[in-house]
A and B are shown apart, each in its own frame.
Chain A
Amino acid sequence: MDNRGIDFGFGFLKQEASFDMQFTLLDYDGQDSYAWAYVVALLNTLLVSFLGIIFCTILGVIIGVARLSQNFLIRNSAAWYVEFFRNIPLLLQIFFWYYAALRALPLPETAEPWFGVTYMTIKGYYIPSMIWENLNVFLSCLIAAIVSIIFIRIYARKLQEREGKQLPVFYISIGLLIILPLLSFLIGGVKLDFELPVLKQLAQTSFIFEGGIALPPELIALVVALSLYTSTFVAECVRAGIQGISKGQKEAAASVGLNPNQILKLVIMPQALRIIIPPTTNQYLNLTKNSSLAAAIAYPDLVLVFAGTALMQTGKAIEIVGITMLTYLTISLSIAALMNWYNKRIEIKEK
């Protein structure tokens, strides 16, 4: 390496990055260091992964259950959904959404509002932003609600084991989740205002929306493509999990007098989840790794910002590619370790 004039070292991380990112979660400008650019870009990656995981789980569970429906049409639609989105390369799907579908959206000045206050335009999706007063009071109320729900659940389980009585835990939880934050509004002095996006004319023919939160089209295309693609795999995991429970389990549960809700909650779900969760986590990991395709449509994620722009500017190929790979490796291995621990915990103890 030396004879090629390459000096190895991580000193460049402290230098000024001097490039801009068009979408950031934290404050960032060109005067910040490379290290800070790394953190901001990593957060962008995590944001895409987080949104993708939420949407692909919702979609995947619905489709997976639909594939087992007794309704012929629903079953087949779900099957075709899976076959369709699973067999097209993710990169093409991202390109399709970004370059074809989202480009067909209206310009800001002609955009019709969705749900009254949000605007879907070619320049992105504009949603109202929330302006809180005394946010910490609200948050502590929320945390208090969650903590009390956990305690109530523990108490309910003990009560069930000791005296066989059952508490309506679900309704109590929902009630607590609504009432405590509501109290914070009424008594705690918490206020919530919405800042709506407003159309503003910049020049004769150029309009933008101001105020609110702007989600750039890159983010939308990525999240849509990632969640549609990954949801097909999640759906298959869910289907396999539910199918993996033998019919006898259900019948046995019914014969000891459990009602359908209890059968689902106490007999089917705990067993099905044991089959569903490990492969699904694997899919979440894949989604996180696939979010690096963001680089292809210029969404400022870790790969584009760090392994792309920063590498071009500094020429520190080994260090930067190394750091990028290590970052993904750390995410993957830590989730894998968590998964192993979980598997050990839930596996059926055989003699």
Chain B
Amino acid sequence: MNISLSKIKTSNPITNIYIGSFLLSLAIFDVFVYSFFDLNITSFLPGNLNLFFPLIIGFVGLSFIRMEYSGIKLVDNINKHINPSNFNALLTLLIIFTVLKAIPPALSWMVLDANISGDTKAACTGTGACWTYIKVWFKRFMYGMYPNELHWRINSAFILVIALGFVGYFFKENLKKYLALYYVVIYPIIAFLIIYYLISGGAFGLVWVETGAWGGLSLTFIVSFFCLIFCFPLGMILALGRRSNLPAVKYVSICYIEFWRGVPLITVLFMSSVMFPMFLPEDFFMDKLVRVIIAITLFEAAYCAEVIRGGLQALPRGQYDAAKSLGMGYWKMHIFVILPQALKLVIPGIANTFLALVKDTPLIFVVGLAEIAGMLALAKTNPKWLGFAMEGYIFAAIIFWIICYAMSKYSYNLEQKYKTER
């Protein structure tokens, strides 16, 4: 660790520390008082000097503190971590001051001056955020235009689908070999049936709700969920196809992958909504939501395929040779030897693809499906609730941030769990 010695030298390092910490605390106190209580204790200084006073004082203070070894743990830690050189000291001060400056306005906007009571726009009298708006529109942001009294159907469908997802954990040892079959084939079918019959209804005495009324965050979940479970097997097949020895399979896979990776999702969605219906038979009707899910699945499968191919390529040849020498055929070799190892290698890549998929779902807004970004656009232009775009977008951003952050942390844990030394 390089710690450049301070230029100012006195005989006693303790004196230096006293002077330095006094100057540093003075600087921080000055900024703190100014930003929290609007009190300018250095107002007697001329213009620019007043502005830069804390920075200069803090900088001098830090350079007093900086020394090779002081024997005091706190001081040594400060020197090592935030004060190793002049440049770093300056950046440290800038960051501390920016945070101090930013806290009061952010706090007062989000909490202190904000309103959450009432249920009309008139309730928002403060200068801060109007969380009433979020409160009133909350159900719309979550469920779209789905009838209020039927929300239990969406909730229970989600709970069922999630519960079924965990069933795999409780498989007995002798059933473990069917795990992949369950997740790749059976689970998607059951999930589709649950979501179809519970959310759209039309059978078992449930009222039919057309997909146009679906929306909000629940639609985001539905779209991401289906795209996720369909794009993974498709991507796997494409990745195997790209490494196949049969030229036809190989080049078809390459063309497919390169095509979808080369176009933006928004054009794919346009294609699904305006071009695709032209190729269907006249009397054949396909719901817009289904078309969008197919389009996103085809799109993301190409990205998935590339990630999986990376894993396949990273496996040493010996694995293939060993599997073949045991007399395994192509499919047996891939299912029992190659894919389990390759997929383990590409967990971070797969997680990134899924994250990108979740972050891409708001795009379905451009073809008229009102998931959360669409509901926000609708709420924002409601004449009774004009002028709260900021609150709406911050709310949606927080929700998405939590989902995506949790996903990335989970993938990191998975990666650690399945890490095997080779």
Contacts and interface: CB of A to CB of B under 8 A. Distances in A.
A96 interface: yes
B278 A317 contact: yes
A73 B400 contact: no
Interface string A207-234: 0000000000000000000000000000
A73 B274 contact: no
A162 B313 CA distance: 43
A317 B397 contact: no
Given A1-B278, A321-B275, A328 B262 contact: yes
B266 A292 contact: yes
Contacts of A69: 88
B262 A333 contact: yes
Interface residues of B, number: 48
A281 interface: no
B389 interface: yes
Interface string A40-82: 0000000000000000000000000000011111100100000
B267 A328 contact: yes
B393 A92 contact: yes
Given A4-B278, A74-B95, A328-B264, A89 B359 contact: yes
Contacts of B415: none
A91 B408 contact: no
A86 B271 CA distance: 28
Interface centre among B259, B271, B377, B380 (most CB of A within 10 A): B271
A290 interface: yes
Interface string A3-18: 1101000000000000
A96 B392 CA distance: 9
B363 A100 contact: no
B401 A74 contact: no
A324 interface: yes
Contacts of B137: none
Contacts of A83: 405
B275 A329 contact: no
Contacts of A73: 82, 91-92, 95-96
B396 interface: yes
Interface residue SS majority, chain B: helix
Nearest to B87: A71
Given A87-B408, A296-B365, A100 B266 contact: no
B373 A324 contact: no
Contacts of B267: 292, 303, 307, 321, 324-325, 328
29 contacts: A4-B278, A71-B82, A71-B91, A87-B355, A87-B359, A88-B359, A89-B359, A91-B363, A91-B373, A92-B373, A92-B397, A95-B376, A100-B393, A103-B389, A289-B264, A290-B264, A293-B266, A296-B365, A307-B267, A307-B270, A318-B278, A321-B267, A321-B270, A324-B267, A328-B264, A329-B262, A331-B262, A333-B258, A336-B262
A99 B389 contact: yes
Contacts of B358: 89
Contact of A4 (B265, B282, B389): B282
A72 B404 CA distance: 25
Given A87-B408, A311-B274, A321-B274, A71 B88 contact: yes
Interface string B237-277: 00000000000000000000011011111110011001100
Interface residue SS majority, chain A: helix
Q: How large is the interface on A (under 10, 10 to 19, 20 to 34, 35 or more residues)?
A: 35 or more
Interface in B336-369: 355, 358-363, 365-366
A292 B88 CA distance: 40
Given A303-B264, A321-B275, A325-B271, 17 more contacts: A6-B278, A70-B1, A70-B84, A71-B81, A72-B82, A87-B400, A87-B401, A89-B400, A90-B359, A91-B365, A93-B397, A104-B390, A289-B263, A311-B270, A317-B275, A324-B267, A328-B262
A332 to B, nearest CB: 4
Nearest to A86: B404
A84 interface: yes
B359 A292 contact: no
A103 B92 CA distance: 33
Contacts of A90: 359
Interface in A114-135: none
A87 B355 CA distance: 8
A286 B79 CA distance: 41
B269 to A, nearest CB: 10
A295 interface: yes
Interface string B1-16: 1000000000000000
Given A74-B88, A295-B366, A88 B282 contact: no
B354 to A, nearest CB: 13
B64 to A, nearest CB: 18
A292 B264 contact: yes
